[in-house]
């Protein structure tokens, strides 16, 4: 009997209608469209209404996915959502999705690995599928970054946006799906360079933490940038080498969208032409756990069955990784 692999059998996304352009940001902080475009590649990002939570976007993405793939809610046996901006600490966004979409035969939980969240979650789903325990898994990446973004800090507020994406994963016996993966973390160097200091059990939110703007995301951008290039390149190269894939064999690299210059550097080091790199950062910014499924959603019509894809991510923790996937439809 052929080996069971976990294949992606559908994808859908959702971004809020409201656009925050670089021009808009010029009137909020001391920045310019020219600086943001040159240094990050971002032109605009989407912002969810203040009164709507992360699950609102996740549910929209999943609703579209179920309808597009003709999947009945009762067929889903696992719901996994990657997010660092859950509606509340508990219950999970995955449980909220399940309730709203009438998914009654599944178990559900969230995974928090910041910008690496979607890849970590996709690989977790894979393990439940290849073990034979699950047949139809909803894998979601959703983040409302605008609520943890400091619009007084020009070094971070230009980067982030809101969005959600979802994929359906199912067993495949014909050699399509996830072929290999690498997941890594380095907590020695990562803990201090990219974080939200307050709002957790170590430093609960108080008037003081709010006055000090400690409930917002902060990073040492230049340092994080260097690690992101090195580790996304390293993981991609390692997975390509051990599966004998050259850049000619690759249909697309699907990288986490943090900065277009990071993507260009990784592509250059892999000797990959830019046309083979999925890029959506220009219109969505960094949507954290949603960047990979939003890329798939955007490029879905360009993909063909059998395409070789390499996913790669880098995020807080630090966390990073890569996966080699043979596209299934």
Least Cα distance to 25 among 146, 121, 167, 180 occurs for 146
Q: Say if residues 94 and 108 touch (Cβ distance below 8 Å).
A: yes
Is-contact 287 160, C-beta < 8 A?
Answer: yes
Give the integer Cα–Cα distance in Å for 96 and 260. Answer: 33
Residues 184-223 that bind ligand UT7 (CB under 6 A): 221-222
Q: Collapse the DSSP code of 270 into the 3-class scheme (helix H, G, I; strand E, B; otherwise coil) and give the result.
A: coil
Decide: is 5 part of the binding site for ligand UT7 (CB under 6 A). Answer: no
**String of b and e for 222-260 (b: at least 16 CB within 10 Å)?**
eebbebbbebbbbbbbebbeeeebeeeebbbbbbbbbbb
In the complex with ligand UT7, the residue whose CB is nearer, 43 or 135, is 43
Least distance (Å) between residue 31 CB and ligand UT7: 3
Number of residues lying near ligand UT7 (CB under 6 A)? 20
Q: Does 179 engage in binding with ligand UT7 (CB under 6 A)? A: no
| Closest chain position to ligand UT7 (CB) | 221
Instruction: Determine how β-strand 44-46 pairs with β-strand 19-21.
Output: antiparallel
Report yes or no: 260 and 42 within 8 Å, Cβ to Cβ: yes
CB of 11 to ligand UT7, least distance (A): 21
Q: How far is the CB of 92 from ligand UT7 (least distance, A)?
A: 22
Annotate each residue in 239-278 with x if it binds ligand UT7 (CB under 6 A) or - if it does not, as one string.
-------------------xx--x----------------
Would you count residue 31 as binding ligand UT7 (CB under 6 A)? yes
Is residue 154 at the binding interface for ligand UT7, with CB under 6 A as the rule? yes
Q: Which window, 28-36, 45-53, 84-92, 292-300, contacts ligand UT7 (CB under 6 A)?
A: 28-36
- Can you tell me the distance from the alpha carbon of 61 to that of 78, in angstroms, rounded to the nearest whole number? 16
Quick one: which of 39, 195, 237, 276 contacts ligand UT7 (CB under 6 A)?
Answer: 39
CB-hemisphere CA count at 13 Å for 110?
A: 26
Q: Does 225 bind ligand UT7 (CB under 6 A)?
A: yes
| Residues at the site binding ligand UT7, with contacts judged by CB under 6 A | 31, 35-36, 39-40, 115, 154-155, 158, 221-222, 224-225, 228, 258-259, 262, 286, 314-315
């Amino acid at each position: 009997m052929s080996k069971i692999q976990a294949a992606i059998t559908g994808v859908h996304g959702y971004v809020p209608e409201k656009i925050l352009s670089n021009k808009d940001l010029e009137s909020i902080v001391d920045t310019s469209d020219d600086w943001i475009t040159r240094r990050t590649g971002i032109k605009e990002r989407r912002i969810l209404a203040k009164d709507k939570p992360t699950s609102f976007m996740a549910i929209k993405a999943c609703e579209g996915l179920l309808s597009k793939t003709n999947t009945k809610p009762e067929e889903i046996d696992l719901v996994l959502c990657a997010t660092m901006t859950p509606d509340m600490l508990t219950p999970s966004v995955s449980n909220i999705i399940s309730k709203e979409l009438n998914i009654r035969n599944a178990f559900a939980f969230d995974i928090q690995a910041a910008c690496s969240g979607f890849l970590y979650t996709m690989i977790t789903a894979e393990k439940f599928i290849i073990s034979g325990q699950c047949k139809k898994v909803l894998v979601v990446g959703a983040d409302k970054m605008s609520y943890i973004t400091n619009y007084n800090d020009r070094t971070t507020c230009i980067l982030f946006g809101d969005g959600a994406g979802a994929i359906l994963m199912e067993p495949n016996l014909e050699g399509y799906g996830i072929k290999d993966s690498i997941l890594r973390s380095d907590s020695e160097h990562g803990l201090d360079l990219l974080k939200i200091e307050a709002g957790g059990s170590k430093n609960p939110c108080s008037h003081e933490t709010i006055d000090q703007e400690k409930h917002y995301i902060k990073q040492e951008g230049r340092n994080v940038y260097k690690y992101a290039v090195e580790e996304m390149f390293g993981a991609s190269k390692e997975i390509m080498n051990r599966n004998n894939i050259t850049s000619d064999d690759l249909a697309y690299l699907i990288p986490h969208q943090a900065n277009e210059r990071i993507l260009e550097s990784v592509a250059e080091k892999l000797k990959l032409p830019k046309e083979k790199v999925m890029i959506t950062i220009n219109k969505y910014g960094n949507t954290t756990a949603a960047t990979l499924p939003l890329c798939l959603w955007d490029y879905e019509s360009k993909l063909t069955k059998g395409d070789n894809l390499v996913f790669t991510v880098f995020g807080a923790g630090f966390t990073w990784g890569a996966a080699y996937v043979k596209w299934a439809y």
